[in-house]
Structure 1
Amino acid sequence: MKYFLKLLLLLVLPMYTNAAEIHQTTFAYWNKPDVEIYYITPDVINENTKVIFVIHGNSRNAEEYLSAWIPHIKNKNVIVAAPQFNKADFRYFFLLEMAESSGNVNKDESKYINNSISLFFNYIKSKFSLNINTYNMFGHSAGAQFTHRYMLLSKDKRISNAVVANAGWYTFINNAEFPYGIKSSPIIISDEDLRWFMSNKVNLLIGSEDIGSKSVNSSKGAKLQGITRVDRANNYFNSLITSAEDKNYAFRWNYKVLDNVDHDFKKVTPYAANILLRDIDDLN
């Protein structure tokens, strides 16, 4: 019987040795509530292992978002990490806790999380002894709102490539009041900040079928950006082009409408993975 069990174990184990395992750690190295970070590591980690952050939507299902990346990162030298901003502590994470969906600005700077990913990146670098200075980021829905606002309002300039997908609304580079525009922003946005924001590699994605209005911000300021997510994405991209031309900034954003894709992170993830894994080495 013991021999049979050992044989069965030997037969079963190989089925799982190549399966990606999701790990979890609690980040507590700041003066804000703890954040759970889910992550997947490659079989072998070396000093050149890269990092991608995946930012969940308003469902705050970070582990599910991370699971969607598993088929795409096999044999890739990359750590994919998904922080989870729980609703009790980070209700407006997609606004970096700087404002509410209604547009009301939060003046308590101690609540702001515009340095969060920078700290998470430092933590992961230290934990795994990585010798890298940049990272990539993917955000979908509310996570896309977080991603583009983080790039605009953080002083962390280590983002190498980003994908902003199916955002519900945006912070425009115009004179609309924050958070709809950058007027009266609680964080000073310098000319150099705007230049970096415009010239970085960012892929703005929107599903052609993401036209539902059920969960779209219906505040007055958001409605001025368009009716559907498709309208708002198109208007945002065109606005960025105009701003870049007016200020003579280099502009490296790309815009793509994903055919037959609705508001589903699982359908968007393959496109994001193709973009963000392009320059990441395979494991030998």
Structure 2
Amino acid sequence: MQRRALLAGLMAPGLARAALPAGRSRIAFDEPSGAAPGPMTVELYRPAAWRPGGKVVAVQHGLRRDAANYRDAWAPHAEAQGFLLICPHFSAAQFPGARYYNLGNARAPEAEWTFFALDRAVAAALRAVEAPPAPFALYGHSAGAQFVHRYLLLTGAPRVSRLVIANAGWYSWPDFGIAFPYGLGDCAATEAGLRAALTRPVTILLGEADTDPNHPALRRDASSDRQGTTRFERGQAFFAAARMAATRYGVRFGWTLATVPGVGHSDAGMAGPAAEILASAS
């Protein structure tokens, strides 16, 4: 299936119909991708002052698949910054393992990629608040950061206004000489897509205390260790590799690197700085 057809499908009616009130809520819509296609839930927070046409931020949870916890951690920032908060729940039952979440099922035909579940979740949320389709800012933490940067590199993230990639465990390097998922070789990524991605407004956001090489959720193997032995090292190295790729291709480099002092592998600790970045551009 062509990407144009996939994106057109985002406008299909969802399960949610009535406009949602201010505060916390949850919706569900029919999601065709994943190992077990079916209803997918989305956790929402609508600030009291938010109206259709206002800022929209989507947040991708980590390995624990705890979208409700991410919604609760981000809700005060959504209220303060005035953006509609959308937290899709990529459940372990529907999107099992790294294949269907961190890697977006990108080895499968494009029509089966789970990256597009994010676009459909945002579209369903906007329908639920009776808002028209709109660009959104995007944040991912840990496993969600893995999803987000691969979503950008493989799909181009055409609806996204700004991206924050926080504390990813490991990356798909901007190098076609390294096979996916550790690089962009032997997958659907293209040099044109990489060149475009390098110009986008992306922030690599790293907790300065995310430095435990033995963290139980940190992948350690020969390929990932070439990127560094901690998330903090790997994030800095990934940013440097992206900057070098932009120089090599002769394109304007749109990414920035930012760090958060005293914060380790914690979404709650990263949420405030990330919200300020996203709200300024969403």
Query: TM class by shorter-chain length?
Result: 0.7 to 0.9
C-alpha deviation, 1:95, in angstroms: 1.0
- 2:201 aligned residue: 201
Does 1:57 find its partner at 2:62? yes
C-alpha deviation, 1:111, in angstroms: 4.2
Q: Are the aligned partners of 1:144 and 1:165 in contact in 2 as well (CA < 8 Å)?
A: yes
Q: Measure the CA separation in 1 of the matches of 2:158 and 2:110.
A: 20
- 1:95 aligned residue: 103
- 1:150 aligned residue: 151
Q: Measure the CA separation in 2 of the matches of 1:163 and 1:53.
A: 11
Q: Superposition pairs for residues 113-262 of structure 1, below 5 Å? A: 113-174=114-175, 175-185=177-187, 187=188, 189-212=189-212, 213-214=214-215, 215-262=217-264
Two-structure CA RMSD over aligned residues (Å): 2.1
* TM superposition outliers: structure 1 runs of 4+ over 6 Å: none
Provide, for residues 180-218 of structure 1, a one-character-per-residue CA deviation record: whole Å limited to 9, x for no partner. 000001x2x234322321111111011111111222111
Unpaired stretches in structure 2, ≥5 consecutive residues: 1-20
From 272, 279, 282, the equivalent of 1:270 is 272
Provide, for residues 257-278 of structure 1, a one-character-per-residue CA deviation record: whole Å limited to 9, x for no partner. 2111110111110111111112
Q: Measure the CA separation in 2 of the matches of 1:69 and 1:238.
A: 29
Larger gyration radius, structure 1 or structure 2 = 1
Provide, for residues 158-182 of structure 1, a one-character-per-residue CA deviation record: whole Å limited to 9, x for no partner. 1101111110000111111100000
1:149–1:226: structure 2 CA closer, same or farther, 3 Å change rule? same
1:267–1:77: structure 2 CA closer, same or farther, 3 Å change rule? closer
Secondary structure in 1 matching 2:115: coil
Q: Are the aligned partners of 1:164 and 1:202 in contact in 2 as well (CA < 8 Å)?
A: yes
Code of the aligned partner of 1:138: Y
Q: Percent identity?
A: 27
TM-score, normalised to structure 1's length?
0.82
Code of the aligned partner of 1:137: L
Secondary structure in 2 matching 1:94: coil
1:211–1:150: structure 2 CA closer, same or farther, 3 Å change rule? same
Secondary structure in 2 matching 1:73: helix
1:252–1:29: structure 2 CA closer, same or farther, 3 Å change rule? same
C-alpha deviation, 1:29, in angstroms: 4.3
- 1:16 aligned residue: none
Q: Superposition pairs for residues 31-110 of structure 1, below 5 Å? A: 31=33, 32-74=37-79, 76-90=81-95, 91-92=97-98, 93-98=101-106, 106-107=107-108
C-alpha deviation, 1:45, in angstroms: 4.8
Q: Measure the CA separation in 2 of the matches of 1:94 and 1:266.
A: 20
- 1:13 aligned residue: none
Q: Measure the CA separation in 2 of the matches of 1:157 and 1:109.
A: 16
TM-score, normalised to structure 2's length?
0.83
